[in-house]
């Protein structure tokens, strides 16, 4: 339980750590001893060298996510411009074939701003929370959010520029996101305005796609500039409070990314591509508490680590069914 709570705490800014001896299983300790035998160390180094020399690149989950983001956001656009009335509104609040849907963070801010519990927002929030609990909590970030797609493209440019010295990745403390989450809620309550929505690139991009561009897109461009040149994935990693609300449900969601310690060579390819690499600290030598373990609550279920792992030590699974997706 302590190890589970620590992985949950990492979502709010706690630093990753090795599990205590009492938090590890006998099986995991025995496996780590086996992996540290001289012949196993030599074999692991040889396999890592071979993988680097003959890399196998998979983009299966990347292209599936991109298709999901584009299709879902196009549904809003088509519904509005062709008056289909399939999906009405934007990502912050909408109706899907008559069912109210509301982003939990946006709904909470609206109710704090108006000092009133609105039944439609409550219904919409419960619907959305149940939906994202089923598919994996922060999956919203990587499978629906239009800004995520823009930020991912910006990240690809950042990596290329950083390699030639034209960009840097300046880290911030991940606890900043939790502080800003509380600050924006307090501002909504004190001012009567949903202040966060004025700077939220998710809502800005969603509304721009549906209703047409506004001057607010300049703020989105500025954010992308920060992410390209100054801090890799700045908004998603250190600022955006939306992921916190979804991440809490993701901690106990049926769909999880499962880690198999026996297959892992610990070379760290998964952590290089991860949007939230702290959730993959368990892939480091000696950091796993069991031979099989679920990735932490802050995981966005993007699948990039699965694509990057040559040994298939990571995969999507349904909790309790042991079914690989």
Interval 304-319: pLDDT, tens: 999 999 899 999 999 8
> Per-residue confidence at 186, pLDDT binned at 50, 70, 90?
very high
In a domain, 190, yes or no: yes
> Per-residue confidence at 8, pLDDT binned at 50, 70, 90?
confident
Distance CA 44, CA 190 (A): 57
Distance CA 160, CA 166 (A): 9
Q: Which of 21-25, 234-238, 247-251 has the lowest mean pLDDT?
A: 247-251
Residue 232 CA to its chain's centroid (Å): 14
Q: Is the pLDDT of residue 323 over 70?
A: no
3-class DSSP string for 228-246? HHCCCCHHHHHHCCHHHHH
In a domain, 201, yes or no: yes
> Per-residue confidence at 324, pLDDT binned at 50, 70, 90?
low
> Per-residue confidence at 55, pLDDT binned at 50, 70, 90?
confident
For residues 61 and 72, the answer to whether their CB atoms sit within 8 Å is no
Of residues 250 and 91, which shows the higher confidence score? 91
Instruction: Give the mean model confidence (pLDDT) for residues 122-131.
Output: 87
Distance CA 230, CA 33 (A): 41
Exposure b/e, 136-152, CB count within 10 A at least 16 = b: bbbbbbbbbbbbbbbbb
Distance CA 257, CA 261 (A): 13
Strand runs labelled E in the chain: 87-90, 93-96, 99-102, 255-260, 292-294, 314-318, 323-324
Q: Is the pLDDT of residue 58 over 60?
A: yes
Q: Is the pLDDT of residue 243 over 60?
A: yes
In a domain, 216, yes or no: yes
In a domain, 1, yes or no: no
Instruction: Give the mean model confidence (pLDDT) for residues 138-165.
Output: 94
In a domain, 35, yes or no: no
Instruction: Give the mean model confidence (pLDDT) for residues 83-89.
Output: 82
Query: What is the number of domains present in the chain?
Result: 1
In a domain, 302, yes or no: no
Distance CA 97, CA 85 (A): 7
In a domain, 95, yes or no: yes
> Per-residue confidence at 233, pLDDT binned at 50, 70, 90?
very high
Residue 325 has a pLDDT of: 60
In a domain, 224, yes or no: yes
- Residue 153's domain spans which residues? 62-247
DSSP code string of 285-323: TT--SSSEEEPPTT-----HHHHH-TT--EEEEETTTTE
Residue 133 has a pLDDT of: 86
pLDDT per residue as tens digits for the range 260-279: 999 999 989 999 999 899 99
List the Cα angle 259/262/267 in 5-degree steps. 75
On the 0-12 / 13-18 / 19+ scale of CB atoms within 10 A, 194 is buried
Distance CA 164, CA 89 (A): 43
As given in the structure block, the two tokens for residue 126 are: 């419960």
> Per-residue confidence at 90, pLDDT binned at 50, 70, 90?
confident
């Amino acid at each position: 339980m302590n190890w589970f709570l620590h992985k949950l705490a990492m979502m709010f800014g706690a630093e990753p750590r090795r599990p205590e001896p009492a938090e590890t299983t006998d099986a995991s300790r025995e496996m780590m001893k086996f992996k540290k035998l001289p012949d196993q160390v030599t074999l692991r180094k040889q396999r890592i060298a071979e993988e680097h020399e003959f890399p196998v690149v998979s983009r299966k989950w990347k292209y599936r996510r991109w298709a999901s983001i584009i299709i879902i956001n196009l549904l809003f656009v088509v519904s509005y411009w062709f008056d289909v009335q399939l999906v009405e509104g934007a990502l912050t609040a909408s109706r899907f074939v008559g069912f109210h849907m509301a982003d939990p963070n946006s709904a909470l801010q609206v109710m704090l701003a108006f000092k009133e519990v609105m039944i439609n927002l409550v219904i919409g929030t419960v619907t959305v929370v149940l939906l994202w609990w089923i598919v994996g909590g922060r999956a919203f970030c990587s499978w629906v959010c239009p800004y995520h797609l823009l930020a991912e493209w910006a990240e690809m440019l950042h990596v290329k520029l950083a390699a030639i010295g034209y960009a840097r990745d300046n880290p911030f403390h991940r606890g900043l996101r939790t502080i800003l989450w509380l600050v924006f809620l307090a501002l909504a309550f004190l001012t009567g305005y949903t202040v966060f929505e004025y700077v939220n690139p998710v809502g800005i991009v969603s509304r721009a796609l549906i209703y047409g561009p506004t001057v607010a897109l300049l703020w989105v461009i500025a954010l992308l500039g920060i992410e390209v040149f100054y801090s890799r994935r700045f908004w998603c990693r250190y600022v955006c409070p939306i992921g916190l609300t979804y991440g809490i449900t993701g901690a106990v969601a049926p769909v999880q990314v499962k880690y198999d310690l026996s297959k892992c060579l610990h070379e760290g390819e998964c952590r290089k591509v991860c949007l939230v690499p702290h959730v993959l600290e368990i892939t480091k030598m000696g950091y796993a508490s069991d031979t099989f373990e679920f990735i932490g609550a802050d995981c966005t279920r993007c699948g990039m680590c699965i694509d990057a792992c040559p040994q298939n030590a990571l995969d999507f699974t349904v909790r309790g069914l042991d079914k690989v997706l």
